[in-house]
Structure 1
Amino acid sequence: MKENRIYDVIIIGGSYAGLSAAMALGRSLRDVLVIDSGIPCNRQTPHSHNFLTQDGKTPLEIATIAKQQVEQYESIIFENGVVTDGRFASEGFEICTEEGNIYIGRKLIFATGVKDIFPDIKGFSACWGISVIHCPYCHGYEFKHQKTGIIGKGDKAIHLSSLVHNLTDQLQVLTRGDANFEEEQKDKLAKNQIGIIETEIVEIVHKDGYVKQLVFDDGRTESFDAVYAPVPFVQHLDLPVNLGCELTEAGHIKVDNFQKTNIPGVFACGDSTTMMRSVASAVSTGNTAGAMVNMELTQEEF
């Protein structure tokens, strides 16, 4: 079904970044459609941290309050759906959903986040966001002074080790094969009493997502309380690339300081655009995207 209505802005993704963008636009009386699948990537995470006024609340609590507040702005409409395709149109952009609906918007904001690619380790996905974590700023304090592993090698492992070492002195790097660290990197780890385990991990033994032990492929087990894992990712949605949006070398949607992509009329915000994966960052970039889209609309109309 194709709607005849033309929205000022269509926002794809209704989590923190999308809601923040919507609020900025709703406060400027813009007609906004937010399309969201209702399946956030942090749905397993028990608590959100490092976000002023909301520290320690569950992600669902924060998102629920945010949506309730955004819903107070009458020019914002929410649609539960999965975007499957989109194209340029004379009015701006046509967006298609899995449910067979087609919506038209003058401007487009991607707040779609990313999809993490998990390693083939039994128990990994069940622990993700709970005790197998990605960010010391978001989760590190809760595991301070506890036995911690870092899955990784090379520069990423060294960088993460330097941050986590400030939180615990019980730290080991888990390379899942030959470490291949340079001598200088080995010296840094040794100087800070950080061990290296090169054996492949086959299972994470846990209770309700909380790590108890790692099982290695040689049969050995070792107890841990938390494991950092900087996993690779892909964009949740192919549409930005299909429309011509550039990606960074790391795979994020490339945006300028105002959250604009290289495609006119298309903006992006949240985890899909930055390595700073946090609620605070998502809200910030969403607010910027909403304000900049409104400014662009205003300049075209005034």
Structure 2
Amino acid sequence: MDSSNQKLYDIIIVGGSYAGLSAAMTLGRSMRNVLIIDSGNPCNKQTPHSHNFLTRDGVPPGEIAKIARLEVAKYPTIEFYEGFAVSGSKISEGFVIKTSDGKSFITKKLIFATGIVDSLHAITGFAECWGISVIHCPYCHGYEVRNKKTAILADGDRLVYFTSLIKNLTDDVTLITSEINASNADNIAILQRNGVKIIEKKISEIQHHNGYIEKVIFSDGTAESFEAMYAPVPFLQHSNIPQELGCELTDAGLIKIDESHKTTLESVYAVGDNSNMLRSVSLAVSSGSVAGVKINGELSAEMFR
């Protein structure tokens, strides 16, 4: 690839939501040449309100992102490109990132703020309620559904811990599980001792009004009314470029990072949901700031010899 006529950015940030914009602001304030590549498709686009973030509690997430983008755009060394990054490769100058429309950009260092994609259950009505009344996090949404009749659609080793967080917010908690067997019997017993009701059935449909649960329909034709449902779901990385470049993943499927958000590949960082199981706007913003400080320090050290 002939990159002699291309602009060499100090940093390309793939993903322009909270984590990416936070990193960009830190770097822009240090006069670094930054390009943000973003396709405008955040995973929380259906969520009506964001919570647990000082000064913006209860504000729609899209509005927070809009304010952040306007603030970041004030810094003259920051550029935006609307597009979807599809590939990346190592070159002598650093890295090249290519987008789906055939454009390519080169950079010394990379930040991936690409987020994750939730693998939603194939239940009628589930996707329409996701982020509204079918939720994943008691810290992000729990206060708003406190004291409401609540279902949990979950399983696994952390079920008791997860349920304990929700039971603190409402006494009316029901675990919905498709099967009770030897592998989860002990957990089920603990939950029952703590007043959690158990329904051992498969869900066929969630009836709702504009994303707000009204009733859960089971495969045997019976139904139960609920006002909220917690449903931790599996996820995939939104971008496979980090792996293609050689970044390692954790056993949970997150990009492996150190305390400064550096990946296992030199000069490549990951921020936000793609590398942190605790998904929230505040933590995404924090991760971007930390990575921005670290990268600016690296660039300064490389120049100051």
TM-score normalised by L of structure 1: 0.98
Q: Distance in 1 between matches of 2:28 and 2:140?
A: 29
Query: Equivalent of 1:219, from 202, 218, 221?
Result: 221
Distance 1:159 1:4 in 2: 52
Matched, 1:87 2:86: no
Instruction: Quote the offset at 1:182 in angstroms.
Output: 4.4
Structure 2 residue 242 is the aligned partner of structure 1 residue 233: no
Offset at residue 119 of structure 1 (A) = 1.1
**Distance (Å, rounded) in 2 between the aligned partners of 1:157 and 1:181:** 12
Structure 2 residue runs of 5 or longer lacking an equivalent are: none
Once the two structures are superposed, residues 211-251 of structure 1 have per-residue CA deviations (whole angstroms, 9 ceiling, x without a partner) of: 10000000000000010011000000110000000001100
Deviations 1:168-225 (A, max 9, x none): 0000111123355545423321221101111000101000000100000000000000
For residues 141-180 of structure 1, the aligned pairs below 5 Å read 141-178=143-180, 180=182
Q: Distance in 1 between matches of 2:292 and 2:181?
A: 44
1:51 and 1:213 map into 2 onto residues whose CA distance is: 31
Listed one character per residue, the Cα deviations across residues 99-121 of structure 1 (whole Å, up to 9, x for unaligned) are: 11000000000000000001110
Q: Please name the residue that 1:7 is paired with.
A: 9
Correspondence for 1:293: 295
8 Å CA contact 1:150, 1:157 repeated in 2: no
Aligned twin of 2:111: 109
Greater CA drift, 119-128 or 178-187: 178-187
For 1:181 and 1:171, the matched residues in 2 are separated by 22
Q: Could you say which residue in structure 2 is the equivalent of 1:200?
A: 202
Hey, what does 2:99 align to over in structure 1? 97
| Mapped contact 1:132–1:227 kept (Cα < 8 A) | yes
**How far apart, in 1, do the equivalents of 2:191 and 2:180 lie?**
15
Between the aligned partners of 2:203 and 2:176, the Cα distance in structure 1 is 8
The 3 A distance-change label for structure 1 pair 149 and 181 is farther
Contact 2:192 2:198 in 1 (8 A): no
**SS of residue paired to 2:297:** helix
Question: Structure 2 length as normaliser, TM-score?
Answer: 0.97
**Structure 1 CA distance for aligned equivalents of residues 161 and 231 of structure 2:** 12
Question: How does 1:22-37 map onto structure 2 within 5 Å?
Answer: 22-37=24-39
Aligned to 2:19, the other structure's residue is in SS state helix
Fraction of identical pairs, as percent: 53
Q: 2:275 aligns to what?
A: 273
| 1:139 lines up with 2:148 in the alignment | no
Tell me which residue corresponds to 1:40.
Answer: 42
Q: Verify the 8 A CA contact 1:153 1:179 in the aligned structure 2.
A: no
- Which stretches of structure 1, 4 residues or longer, exceed 4 Å deviation after superposition? 179-183
Query: Is 1:258–2:260 an aligned residue pair?
Result: yes
Q: Which residue of 2 aligns with 1:19?
A: 21
Distance in 1, matches of 2:263 and 2:279, equals 19
Counterpart code for 1:229: A
Say whether residues 1:282 and 2:281 are aligned partners: no
